[in-house]
A and B are shown apart, each in its own frame.
Chain A
Amino acid sequence: QQKVQQSPESLIVPEGGMASLNCTSSDRNVDYFWWYRQHSGKSPKMLMSIFSNGEKEEGRFTVHLNKASLHTSLHIRDSQPSDSALYLCAASMGNYAQGLTFGLGTRVSVFP
């Protein structure tokens, strides 16, 4: 059983549309969530992080966190073909760097 569950596994979005991705941790010790984006053949790159309850917006990307349910979501508005990628959710915890626990990812395809 994955400690970090992501849904859906894949998502097809029309250009200009909204993509919504979900992630939940079953480990109550986590206190930080990360969203990474990985284009084909490239390294994963951090998109956004969140540790406080509520919402955080950066450009077309919005991330929500509910700490009580350990659920985070990523929303991409006005999706572009360049947003087509694998989106990895990860969780971390602790007072010093211990690494990230990843989910399986959501593959997003944006078609023109």
Chain B
Amino acid sequence: DTTVKQNPRYKLARVGKPVNLICSQTMNHDTMYWYQKKPNQAPKLLLFYYDKILNREADTFEKFQSSRPNNSFCSLYIGSAGLEYSAMYLCASSAGHANTEVFFGKGTRLTVV
């Protein structure tokens, strides 16, 4: 099963409130990623876990947190949502070593109001 599952598919959040998005994969992949996709923009890598090590992109370092309690699950946490966080959030996973296929989930569409 090459499936990456994301919950929920749609989420509505209030400005200033926290948001937690969930992702799971059963492929025993070492690496899990979170991407943000806004309309008319390319998917942008926010952060990734290689095993238990979290790597966050420099320009989104303070905006997003993540946790990976076990190999299969990974969450994306926004402490205080702003309007600019409205986007599609794509979770993905790969076998971890360089240049292996990255498998994507269907995404969670977050709308902040």
Interface residues of A (CB under 8 A from B): 2, 4, 31-32, 34, 36, 41-46, 49, 51, 88, 92-105
Contact = CB atoms under 8 A, between A and B. Distances in A.
B48 A99 contact: yes
A106 to B, nearest CB: 12
A31 B95 CA distance: 18
Given A97-B94, A97-B99, 14 more contacts: A2-B42, A43-B4, A43-B106, A44-B90, A46-B102, A49-B99, A49-B101, A95-B98, A96-B50, A97-B30, A97-B96, A98-B48, A98-B55, A100-B45
11 contacts: A34-B102, A43-B106, A44-B104, A49-B99, A88-B42, A92-B98, A97-B95, A97-B96, A97-B99, A98-B55, A99-B35
A103 to B, nearest CB: 6
Contacts, number: 70
A92 B106 contact: no
B89 interface: no
B107 A43 contact: yes
B11 to A, nearest CB: 17
A32 B43 contact: no
A46 B100 CA distance: 11
Contacts of A2: 42
Interface string B78-113: 000000000000100011111111111111000000
A105 to B, nearest CB: 7
B68 to A, nearest CB: 14
Contact of A96 (B40, B44, B98, B104): B98
Contact of B99 (A36, A42, A92, A101): A92
B50 to A, nearest CB: 7
A104 B40 contact: yes
B42 A43 contact: no
